[in-house]
Structure formats: structure tokens, C-alpha cells
Amino acid sequence: MDTHHDFADINGTRLHYETAGSGDPLVLIHGATLDIRMWDDQFVSFARHYQVIRYDMRGYGQSALPTTANYTPADDLMALLHHLGLTRAHILGLSLGGAVAIDFALTYPEATDTLIVVDTGLRAFQWEAFGAILSQVQSVAITSGIEAAKRHWLNGPLFAPAMENPQLAVRLKQIVTDYSGWHWVNNQPPPPSDSSPIEQLDGIHLPTLIIVGERDFPDFQTIAEILYRRIPNATKVVMSDVGHMSNMEDPERFNEIVLGFLMDKQY
């Protein structure tokens, strides 16, 4: 299958992206410390049915590092769609990418055909155990360096289920090794001045699929339940025997769930 790699100079930055397939656009948004390679098990499979776009957010993969200028990842994604001549797409994101997908659906509902979030974060959510892990990693990055923080991150409980698979462990280690570490040692841009996404979830009137791994952290289980209860007519699927990286841990089942949902929601 033909794929296209390129860079888009948009919204004051330079984003790396890859496209394949034809049909309705489907965007894949990666998680924190990761990049487009986390979607390797989905990219070709989904491109048999859709025009698939996967891209590296600022500071990840081959995209440019953030600067002191304020930005929002949702605005970056909208600018990327415009760059590609697209007005709307199915939006799928995992973890941080899921939080970006939710912000995009709230900010640009007219550009969102369906919303699919996987083991997702949620902006303004009050983290509990996972928040402590993030603080520890950032502390290690500041005091001992980014490489030490990467080892701490990979060996922590978030990736533990995925790291049980030796082949997957190698893939994750390579992706995280290549991560810039920028977000651990720099101030993040301030969030949008609007109200918390949690308070706006009942305004998402889009076909929505929520996927969470049975072995994922309790914080992510809580977010999945919040979304399921507050987004009208949302569908929630708990994937058995997988953790936070459900798309990489059980790609065959994951792809079946996502494609089944998308094909059922075609209109």
C-alpha cells in the first residue's frame, strides 16, 4: 500500500505526518512520550477502509519542539486537516491523544465525524495514583536527566502489562528512547481559558466510542466511566487482559472493535 510521509508548516510549527488509503479521513493521535509508530499495527489495516492520517504532535517524533508561543494541540490538528484539504474526520486518540481528541471534538464539533478515545486522559481531571507517577518522572528528569527519566517511565507500572510481551517491549523502548523529553523539563502552554472539558461532555453529540484496557490504571478506568456516563449515547468497551497500550497489546481485537464501530456509524 502506498504511504505518503511529509511535513506541514502550520500554526507556527512543523508537524511530521503520514497518510495512506482512501475514503473518509481517520486521524490517529499518539500518547505522551510516543509517536506515530505506536499505530503501526493499525495504520495499514485501517487504510484498507479509510484515508488514515497519523502525525507527531509538537515535541514528539519528527515534529518540531514547542516554543514559548502559546498553542493548543486541537488547533494544530485543525490546521493539519486544512493543510491536507480536509474539513472533517473521524478522530481517534490514545491517552494524551485521547485528551486531545476530546478537546478537538469540543472545539471543532463540525469537523468531527466520530470520536474514539482509548485509555484516555482528560484535561483538568484530578489525577490520583497516576499523577504521582508523572510527578516522579518529571522530578527524575530535572534532577537526574532525561535519559534517567525515560528508564524510570518505561519501568513503571503504566507500561508493565505491555512490557510483559518481549517483542512489544522492544518496540516501546525504541519509541520512548527517541522521545525528546521536552515536556518533562519545560513549562506547558496554559490551557484554553474555557471551562473544564469535564463540564462540557454532555455537549458532545457525536458517535463516541470509549475503549479501556482491563488492566489499565484506576485513573484511566475512572475517566472512561466519566465519559461513558456524561457523553450522550456513548459506547464503552473494556478490553480484557490488556493495560494502557491496548492497541499494541492486542491489535487484532482492537482493530476489530474500532472498525466495527466505524462501519456501524457510517451515514
Structural domain count of the chain: 1
Render pLDDT for 89-122 as a digit per residue (tens, 0 to 9): 999 999 999 999 999 999 999 999 999 999 999 9
Q: What is the mean pLDDT of residues 28-49?
A: 98
Structural domain span for residue 31: 3-126+192-264
Residue 142 has pLDDT above 80, yes or no: yes
Render pLDDT for 210-252 as a digit per residue (tens, 0 to 9): 999 999 999 999 999 999 999 998 999 999 999 999 999 999 9
**Nearest Cα residue to 108 out of 139, 84, 76, 136:** 76
In this prediction, residue 194 carries a pLDDT of 63
Residue 92 lies in a domain: yes
Render pLDDT for 59-79 as a digit per residue (tens, 0 to 9): 999 999 999 899 999 999 999
Residue 241 lies in a domain: yes
Report residue 158 as a C-alpha cell: 503504566
Residue 163 lies in a domain: no
Residue 61 belongs to a domain with what CATH number? 3.40.50.1820
Residue 138 lies in a domain: no
Report the alpha-carbon distance of residue 70 to residue 100 in Å, rounded: 16
Share of the chain above pLDDT 70, in %: 97
Confidence class for position 267, pLDDT limits 50, 70, 90 = very low
Q: What is the mean pLDDT of residues 201-207?
A: 96
Residue 166 lies in a domain: no
Residue 184 lies in a domain: no
Report the alpha-carbon distance of residue 72 to residue 74 in Å, rounded: 5
In this prediction, residue 40 carries a pLDDT of 98
Residue 29 has pLDDT above 80, yes or no: yes
pTM: 0.97
Contacts of residue 107, Cβ cutoff 8 Å, sequence gap at least 6: 72, 74, 75, 78, 192
**Nearest Cα residue to 55 out of 92, 82, 74, 27:** 27
DSSP state of 199: G
